[in-house]
Structure 1
Amino acid sequence: MNPAARSADGSRRVLLMLLLPGLVALGVTFVLPLLWLFRASFASSAIGAFSGGDWTLSSYETVLTDPFYWLVAWNTLVLGFNVAVFTVILSYPIALFLARTESRWRGVLTALAVAPLLTSSVVRTYGWMVILGDQGVINSTLQALSLTDGVVRLTNNSFGATVALIEIFMPYAILAMLSGFGRLNTQLEEAAAMLGANRLKVFTRIILPLSLPGVLTAALLVFVLAISAFVTPRLMGGGRVFVLGTEVYNEATVTLNWPLAAALSVLLLVLFSSVIVIYQRALRALEA
């Protein structure tokens, strides 16, 4: 074996040794629980989910034939779509400003934009309950200004859950877009302006197309986080917002139907996979 081949073989061995601890940890903490989840979804009873037992499709039959679970899946997709769209719309100007600014305060402003991540989402959800509640800041202000006679229902519904999730996930969207704005080039904008393009054309023809990969990444991240959210829909929905996350919790802890909870979890994973496939195809289309 020539020295170059020996060196390449040694490099591969070192790389494998470096990867091995991470692969083992990934297998123990992710792959094995995922395999157990699939096995549990085919169990005939909650006991069978832990100890083996018979294999059955009854849980999937329940999920696919019960209109309630179709409604839950639809509510989950609608919630995820609304949260992703509005989060990206609100986060885009902030991320674009942080990516373009040359101010010496850029680091501080970026830290402030992502500072909410230092606070638990549970605390922030309770904060939104105070703001949007029947006796909260908004309702109290509207009544004080005589703009409404009664209480405006802003919580215990999908609206409250959507608003809270948008605020909670905005830092994630800002970080994702900042990492995806590497294609932006001010020289292209200056060249377009010299050729007579106004600011609107510069934005629609140059800035927006070049920033779309970052926007898609942020939308994917927020959508996945939103459809898997449990705490915020549970608290802001007041038990009236039914999504897959809350139903998995109910089946696993209230009715103790572990096979059905596992089947719903598998359905959630299918939604994740579908969205990732759509994202990859959209990204390839943009890069083509």
Structure 2
Amino acid sequence: MSTTETLPRVESRFGGSATWMIVPALVLLIVFFALPYLTIITMSLREASTRAVYGDGFTLAHYTTALSDPYIWGILGRTIMVGITVTVLALLLGYPVAYHLANSRSRWTSLLYIFVLSPLLVGLVVRTFAWMIILSNNGVANQVLKALGLIDFPLQLMNNTLGVTIALTHVFLPFIILPLLGNLQAISPDIAMASRSLGASRLRTFLKVTLPLSLPGIQAGTILVFVLSISAYVTPAMLGGTGGRTMSVLVVQYLVDNFRWPAGAALAIIMAAVAVIFVSLYLRVTARAMRRLP
């Protein structure tokens, strides 16, 4: 029997059992994603108790209380604004770096890679402590501004959203550079050369060719940074104070400090639902823009 005659049997044999290959992935999703969320949802619906983690019975009171509280809405809005601001800043700072890395042939490119990855090589608590030293009233930033004669009194760079935004931008910058870098490296240089040969300037080539083709990398990187920013806890807890408190800090406060697990779980579900809404809307807008690409 020839080889060509045996191929269909081999393909059908593997095709029949191919569904078993997804079982490990399904188990991981169920155990580490679905079950934790179901547990949190169940916890958010339980009655509050002063003697145990939760009481008997189920209720929607935690959701109605949270959704009718202006203080929680204010923190939720602040969290979303911090996420959007960090995402925009990371994109503005990261795109030029990714573009340079994708097109550079210099011997120093590997060193720049190290600088890009350096925030990931240091623990998050250590990085946040470093920013506390820089942004405190007697920190490096205020001392430099005083030495230059730009200020007479220290600027409040901590215990507010400004310090949180600066630190989170530094922490999550690699998470937007790396997806952009992979996307930009996948764009054929012949396309830009064809645009230049037809008379387009470098700026016009970038705006009409390179930037639209890099939209998938922009989409992936910005979603990743946004989700990480709104869910960050250590940096807002250490740098935010009361003026820069985010939903993650509030949820931990409910769970650990106040021992209000059902109410804290409800806040976590509300935050997750808002994040899903924002990401879904963003995906629709960016997907529509990418469908217009040639």
Both structures adopt the same fold (TM-score exceeding 0.5): yes
Q: Which runs of 5+ in 2 are unaligned?
A: none
Moved more, 232-241 or 90-99: 232-241
> Could you say if the C-alpha distance between residues 22 and 98 of structure 1 is closer, same or farther in structure 2, counting changes exceeding 3 Å?
same
> Could you say if the C-alpha distance between residues 272 and 180 of structure 1 is closer, same or farther in structure 2, counting changes exceeding 3 Å?
farther
> Could you say if the C-alpha distance between residues 9 and 254 of structure 1 is closer, same or farther in structure 2, counting changes exceeding 3 Å?
farther
> Could you say if the C-alpha distance between residues 142 and 37 of structure 1 is closer, same or farther in structure 2, counting changes exceeding 3 Å?
same
| 1:196-211 correspondence runs (5 A) | 196-211=199-214
Residue 7 of structure 1 deviates from its aligned partner by 4.0
Q: Which residue of 2 aligns with 1:44?
A: 47
Report if the CA contact (8 A) 1:132-1:138 is conserved.
Answer: yes
Query: What is the aligned counterpart of 2:174 among 151, 164, 171?
Result: 171
> Could you say if the C-alpha distance between residues 249 and 188 of structure 1 is closer, same or farther in structure 2, counting changes exceeding 3 Å?
same
> Could you say if the C-alpha distance between residues 138 and 29 of structure 1 is closer, same or farther in structure 2, counting changes exceeding 3 Å?
same
Report if the CA contact (8 A) 2:215-2:290 is conserved.
Answer: no
Report if the CA contact (8 A) 2:212-2:290 is conserved.
Answer: no
Q: Which residue of 1 aligns with 2:155?
A: 152
Query: What is the aligned counterpart of 2:61 among 45, 54, 58?
Result: 58
Q: Which runs of 5+ in 1 are unaligned?
A: none
- Give identity over the alignment, percent: 35
Q: Which residue of 1 aligns with 2:222?
A: 219
Post-superposition CA distance 1:139-183 (Å, at most 9, x none):
112222332211111111110100000000001111121233255
> Could you say if the C-alpha distance between residues 222 and 49 of structure 1 is closer, same or farther in structure 2, counting changes exceeding 3 Å?
farther
| 1:114-263 correspondence runs (5 A) | 114-263=117-266
Structure 2 SS opposite 1:181:
helix
Query: What is the aligned counterpart of 1:77 among 60, 77, 80?
Result: 80
Name the count of aligned residue pairs.
287
Amino acid at match of 1:33: P
Q: Which residue of 2 aligns with 1:35?
A: 38
Distance (whole Å) between structure 2 residues aligned to residue 48 and residue 70 of structure 1? 29
Residue 72 of structure 1 deviates from its aligned partner by 1.1
Structure 1 SS opposite 2:58:
coil
Amino acid at match of 2:144: T
Residue 210 of structure 1 deviates from its aligned partner by 1.1
Post-superposition CA distance 1:188-215 (Å, at most 9, x none):
2222222222221111111111112211
Residue 6 of structure 1 deviates from its aligned partner by 5.8
Normalised TM-score (structure 1): 0.91
Q: Which residue of 1 aligns with 2:70?
A: 67
Residue 104 of structure 1 deviates from its aligned partner by 4.6
Distance (whole Å) between structure 2 residues aligned to residue 87 and residue 12 of structure 1? 44
Amino acid at match of 1:207: T
Residue 48 of structure 1 deviates from its aligned partner by 10
Amino acid at match of 1:199: R
Query: What is the aligned counterpart of 2:116 among 105, 113, 117?
Result: 113
Report if the CA contact (8 A) 1:73-1:243 is conserved.
Answer: yes
Residue 52 of structure 1 deviates from its aligned partner by 7.1
Moved more, 106-115 or 261-270: 106-115
Residue 92 of structure 1 deviates from its aligned partner by 0.4
Normalised TM-score (structure 2): 0.89
